Structure 1
C-alpha cells in the first residue's frame, strides 16, 4: 500500500488487499498461538520464581518457555498449545475492523473539527487517534479476550465444554459484568503505551534515522525499539488483566487452582509485588517480545502469497470471461 492509501499497479484491488490481510492475520495468529498460551500460563503462575519451595505438581512453577511447553505436551497433548485459539482468531478479526474504523473516524474528526490555523500537529493527531481506536477495539472485543484467557488457562480439567457453553455459563453465573473482568487495566495501558511509544520513537528516530541496517532503516529500528520499551513499561498491567480475567466462580478450576483473589488492579499490582517480587510483574515478558518477530514474518509471508493467489484467480476469471 502506498502512504496515501491507494495501491500501486500490481498491488491488487482494495478488496484483495483487505482479504489477503485478513488471511495473513488469521494464519499468523494460528502459528504463534502456542507462544500465546505459554505467555498466559506464565502470567497466571502465582508463585515466586525465586522461591525454591514453590509447588511442583500438576501446575509446576515453570522456569521458562521450554519447561512450560514440555509440561503442556506431557499432560495435555499437542492440542493443549492451541487452547483458546478460536476466540483469539475471532478477536483478531473484530479488533482489526473496529480499530481501523475508529482510527479513520477519529482522524477525520480531528482534521475537520478545528480550523486550519488551530490544527493539531500530526504527531498529536496520530497519538489521539491511536489511543481512541485502541480503546474502542479493546472494549468491543474484550469478551473474546477474556474467553481466550480462560480457555488457555484450562489444564486437563475442562472448565468449559465449548465456546457456546462458556458464553452461557459466564452469563448465567457472573452476569454481563463477568465478560469484562479486567477491562480497567486493559484500557489503562493503552494511553501510556501510546505515549511511551511515540516519545521513544521520536527520540530514537533522530539518532538512528541515518543508519541502514540489515533488517531495515534506522526508522524501522527506532520503531522496534520503541515498541519493546512501551510493551515492557505497561506489561504489569497486562499481567494483572490476565489474573483478573480468571477471577470468579471458576477460579479454582484452572491449571493454577490457587490464584489469589484480586479486587482491583492497584491491589493486584501491590499483592504480586509483595508475594512474587519485582520479577513477578514481568512473568511472560520475554516470550511476549519474542513472539512479535515470527508473527510479523508469518504475516508478511502469508500476505504476499495470498495477494498473489487472489490476483491470479481474478486474472484467470477475467480471461475466462473474454
Structure 2
C-alpha cells in the first residue's frame, strides 16, 4: 500500500478500481470452484450417488471440480457470476483503498507524527476499517455473485436484472444482505491482519532481489495466505447463508441445509460435517487468494505510480 500522502483521491480510486478489475478476471474460475465446494454440505466419506443427492454433483478436489464444471456446463461455467463479481471487485477495491488511505490520514491528524501508532497497528486499524466499509457497501453484489456461481444448467436467474427484481420481490431489501454478519465478522480481522502483515514485510522484501519478481506481490501473497486461513470458516458460513431463501433447493447443490444465524450455522456444520466441514474449499481459496492479492497489490502500485508520474501528486487534494 502506498503511503497515505501519495496520490490524489482520484488517482487512488482509479488505481484501486483497475487493480480489482484485472484481479477478478484472472481468478474467476477458482472463485467459482471455491463457492461450489463451500456449498457442498454432504460428507464425502459417506456412500453417495448423484441420484441419492437429488441430482447434486459430487465435487472432489480443485482440478476434478474444474473438469466437472467444464464437462457439464462448458468453459463459460467457470465465469458464472462474473458480471456482478467484476462490479463488486472494482467497487470494493476502489472503496477499500480510499478508506484505507483516509483512515491512516485521519490517525495522523488525530495523533500527529510524534504520537502515531506503530506501523503494524496503524495498518491493522486502516485495513479493518477499509474492509468493513467496502464489504457493507458492495455486499448485494457479493450475494449476487454467489448465487450466479452456485447455479448449474438449470438456471435460477437468467440475468442480473431478473435476479435483482426477484430477490427484491420475494425476499425484500434484507434478502440482498443475507450473511452480512459473518461477512463483517470475517472482513475486519481479515483485512486488518492482511494490511498489518503486508506493510510489515513489504519494504524488507522490496530490498531483496527476488527471482520471481516484485516484493509487493510477494508481500501480498504472504499476507493473504495467513489472513485467509484464519477467518475461512466465517467465509464458508457467509456463502451458505447467502443462498438461503425461496431458491435454496434450485442451485447446483439441491440439498443445501437451512442455515439461520452465524453461531447456529457454525454449530450445525460442526454437528453434521465436523471441523473439516468449516474448511471446505480452503485449498482452492488459498490458491485463489494468493495470486489475486499479488495481482491486486502489484497492479495498484504500478497504476498509481503511473498516474502520479503523468498527472502529478496534488498535495492539496491528497490532504483533503
TM-score of the pair, normalised by structure 1: 0.80
CA contact (8 A) 2:179 2:242 kept: yes
Partner residue in 1 for 2:152 = 155
Instruction: Map 1:1-322 to 2 at 5 A.
Output: 3=3, 6=6, 22-51=17-46, 53-57=47-51, 58-114=55-111, 118-194=115-191, 196-197=193-194, 213-215=210-212, 224-295=221-292
1: CA distance between counterparts of 2:105 and 2:305? 32
CA contact (8 A) 2:19 2:299 kept: yes
2: CA distance between counterparts of 1:304 and 1:215? 17
1:126 offset after TM fit, Å? 1.9
1:105 offset after TM fit, Å? 2.3
TM-score of the pair, normalised by structure 2: 0.80
Task: Tell me the alpha carbon deviations over residues 262-315 of structure 1, each in whole angstroms, 9 at most, x when there is no partner.
Answer: 11111111111221122211111111111234445666897899899999xx9x
Farther off after superposition, 273-282 or 77-86: 273-282
Alignment CA distance shift 1:90-1:219 (3 Å) = closer
CA contact (8 A) 1:49 1:280 kept: no
CA contact (8 A) 1:49 1:276 kept: no
Which runs of no fewer than 5 residues in structure 1 stay unpaired?
A: 8-12, 315-322
Alignment CA distance shift 1:173-1:237 (3 Å) = same
1:27 offset after TM fit, Å? 3.2
Task: Tell me the alpha carbon deviations over residues 76-109 of structure 1, each in whole angstroms, 9 at most, x when there is no partner.
Answer: 1121111100000000111122112222222222
Task: Tell me the alpha carbon deviations over residues 121-175 of structure 1, each in whole angstroms, 9 at most, x when there is no partner.
Answer: 3332221111111100000000000000000000111111210111111111001
Alpha-carbon RMSD:
3.8
The structure with the larger Rg is 1
CA contact (8 A) 2:150 2:252 kept: yes
1: CA distance between counterparts of 2:295 and 2:218? 19
CA contact (8 A) 1:211 1:217 kept: no
Task: Tell me the alpha carbon deviations over residues 164-213 of structure 1, each in whole angstroms, 9 at most, x when there is no partner.
Answer: 111111111001000000000010012332455577679989x9999765
1: CA distance between counterparts of 2:294 and 2:206? 23
Aligned residue pair count: 307
1: CA distance between counterparts of 2:121 and 2:12? 28
1: CA distance between counterparts of 2:111 and 2:20? 36
Which runs of no fewer than 5 residues in structure 2 stay unpaired?
A: 312-320
Alignment CA distance shift 1:201-1:108 (3 Å) = closer
